[in-house]
Chains A and B, each alone.
Chain A
Amino acid sequence: METLIIVLAGVLVSVATYLLLSKSVIRVILGTAILSHAAHLLIITMGGLKTGGVPLLGEKDSSYTDALPQALILTSIVISFAVTAIMLVLGYRAYQKLGTDNLLEMRGFDDE
């Protein structure tokens, strides 16, 4: 099971890298979102995918799945959610002010 999820995470990382290297701002932002999905999948896999009860003490199972990676992911999800929101607004403002969403047209300085 771990192997399968790691291959999936690898596919997500390669898709994300491809998108990050493209010209359009919105594709780049989608790339970061997919990359953070890959990282989160990787955390849950690295914590171990052994079968056990959900980590709720009321369930009274003999063993539970590891609760720490789930807490780490939850923290990481809200952080990347916030950064994605910033990126989207930044992309929107840059489109309004600079009149382009092409990263190749966003380089250089006027005084150079």
Chain B
Amino acid sequence: MSNLAILPIIIPLLSGIILAFFPKKLTLVRLLSKLFIIGNLLVSGFVLYTVYTSGSIILETGAWPAPYGIIIVADSLSILLVFTTNIVAAACAFYAPHSLSDRKEQHYFYAFFFFLITGVSGAFLTGDIFNMFVFFEVLLMASYALIVLGGDKIQLRESIKYVLINLFSSILFVTAVAFLYATVGTVNMAQIAQRVQEVDQQGILTTIGILLFFVFATKAALFPLYYWMPNSYIEPNPVISALFGALLTKVGIYAIIRVFSLIFIYKIDMTHEIFIWIAGLSMIFGIIGALSTNNIKLIIAYNIIPAIGFIIMGIGIFNETAVSGSIYYLVHDMIIKTALFLIAGTVTYVAGTSDLRKFSGLIHYYPVLGWLLFLAAFVLAGIPPFSGFIGKLLLLTGALSESEIAIVIIALISSLLILYSIMKIFIKGFWGVKDASFQPKSTKGLIGPIAFLLALSVILGIGAEFFIPSIENISAYLLDPEIYIDSVLKE
């Protein structure tokens, strides 16, 4: 029964291994990868249902009791994110065959795709900090292969920088784990949390906490550490950018949420105050980046940074409303960022360029694509009936109840500018005079996944009444680390 928890890791791992055997048989590989990802989506949906009806599933691998073996914890937060990951991945798997060239698909794209999903699910589900490092490396290693797939000049140039910064932060992660092990003598997260409450070495523990935050903030592209992200995310194929934009930075954010709601919670006035500042600065600098460019892919990539800022702001405020806002926004942002990257990829494909100054009037040829972009801009900016609104409303209510006025003003202004930066694509690229010499290309298969993702985020917004109670349960669960510790250590 408790083996259910590991299925979302095992299925993509086995799928990746199977697909690595016959990379040249494209029809078979495409069919199998769609089947596998839908199977994985259904299984993780079933695990999600089980967790929400009968509580967290804890798997002690190899039947070693909790602090001694590696444990897999499928609690309400991690399994929700795994399910969202699989939704995003399924949309990407259906988009990929129409977007990638045959040559790229033959060079093990689907195998690396499934290894990426393995790493992301593993990082969400693990209950052991060194194991989390290993799953980070699994997903990073797959992402190194995906980012350089194709081997264009610009890709090679950007991937050197990408690999380098991630390698550096991984080594820092190992160092931080070593310090933590020296201080508390364990790598199991529940036991670390328990011992942190007992020992009184708070100075060194806060230092380790900030070091871990530095590591995760590099992965999540927060304010001073986002410089590597925008350019390296726009160079690979759109479907790969979409996977990166939706999953990789969010794993860093999940690690921050987990570590700073479970382990380092004894000095909130210092650590979490820093988060609020960093959140504000991320919003400001991210939105400046998004407004500064005419490259549509770069506009979307820069929009990741303020979104991460919104999520980290909820963690910084750390009351129940704000944390549930963060979780809601996290799920919403994973879905909408994938949709936006896929839209940007489709627009680049049909227009033949990603430079906004070079095309206009696309609405005459692609009305559906145009209105999908319009809808996505509304969802992202947080116009009331859609999902971005609910998350931001919860975050801002939480911030106001703690009288953090400055961050509220920054958040509201940056929401406005986010809307402007996306509408700029719509106004410049889709409106305007009809270009008679334009040769329309077929968008067969490209629109479906985008429409699916946008429909989901509309449902997420309109059906908020249905989702909010479980989100609030997760938030209450996160604010009380004793529940996690007790369920893992069984005391």
**Are chains A and B native binding partners rather than an unrelated pairing?**
yes
CB distance from A26 to the nearest CB of B (A): 12
Considering the chains assembled together, what is the distance between the CA atoms of A107 and B154 in angstroms? 9
Q: Which residues of A contact B133 (CB under 8 A)?
A: 76
Query: Of all chain A residues, which has the CB nearest B179?
Result: A46
B134 within 8 A of A: yes
- A66-112, CB < 8 A from B: 68-69, 72, 75-76, 79-80, 82-83, 86-87, 90-91, 93-94, 97-98, 103, 106-107, 109-111
Q: Which residues of B contact A110 (CB under 8 A)?
A: 154
B163 within 8 A of A: yes
CB distance from B309 to the nearest CB of A (A): 25
Q: Which residues of A contact B168 (CB under 8 A)?
A: 20, 32, 35
Considering the chains assembled together, what is the distance between the CA atoms of A97 and B178 in angstroms? 39
Do residues A83 and B167 form an inter-chain contact, with CB atoms below 8 A? yes
Do residues A79 and B178 form an inter-chain contact, with CB atoms below 8 A? no
Q: Which residues of B contact A80 (CB under 8 A)?
A: 167, 171
- A9-53, CB < 8 A from B: 20, 25, 28, 32, 35-36, 39-40, 42-43, 45-48
Do residues A43 and B164 form an inter-chain contact, with CB atoms below 8 A? no
B144 within 8 A of A: yes
Do residues B174 and A97 form an inter-chain contact, with CB atoms below 8 A? no
Among B157, B163, B171, B295, find the residue whose CB has the most chain A CB atoms closer than 10 A: B171
B137 within 8 A of A: yes
Do residues A79 and B137 form an inter-chain contact, with CB atoms below 8 A? yes
Considering the chains assembled together, what is the distance between the CA atoms of A94 and B363 in angstroms? 40
A interface residues, how many (CB within 8 angstroms): 37
Q: Which residues of B contact A40 (CB under 8 A)?
A: 174
Q: Which residues of B contact A83 (CB under 8 A)?
A: 137, 141, 144, 163, 167, 170
Do residues A32 and B141 form an inter-chain contact, with CB atoms below 8 A? no
Do residues A90 and B181 form an inter-chain contact, with CB atoms below 8 A? no
Q: A46-B178, A76-B174, A97-B156 in contact; A32/B164 too (CB < 8 A)?
A: yes
Among A75, A83, A106, A111, find the residue whose CB has the most chain B CB atoms closer than 10 A: A83
CB distance from B224 to the nearest CB of A (A): 17
B207 within 8 A of A: no
B254 within 8 A of A: no
Q: Which single member of A36, A45, A94 contacts B160 (CB below 8 Å)?
A: A94
B270 within 8 A of A: no
Query: Of all chain A residues, which has the CB nearest B144?
Result: A86
CB distance from B381 to the nearest CB of A (A): 27
CB distance from A1 to the nearest CB of B (A): 14
Q: Which residues of B contact A68 (CB under 8 A)?
A: 181, 187
Closest 8 CB pairs of A and B: A46-B182, A46-B178, A43-B178, A94-B156, A39-B174, A106-B157, A39-B171, A79-B137
B interface residue numbers (CB < 8 A to A)? 130, 133-134, 137, 141, 144, 148, 151, 153-154, 156-157, 159-160, 163-164, 167-168, 170-171, 174-175, 177-179, 181-182, 187, 231, 295, 355
A and B contact pairs by CB, cutoff 8 A, 13 listed: A25-B160, A32-B164, A35-B168, A43-B181, A47-B178, A47-B181, A79-B170, A80-B167, A83-B170, A106-B157, A107-B157, A109-B231, A111-B295
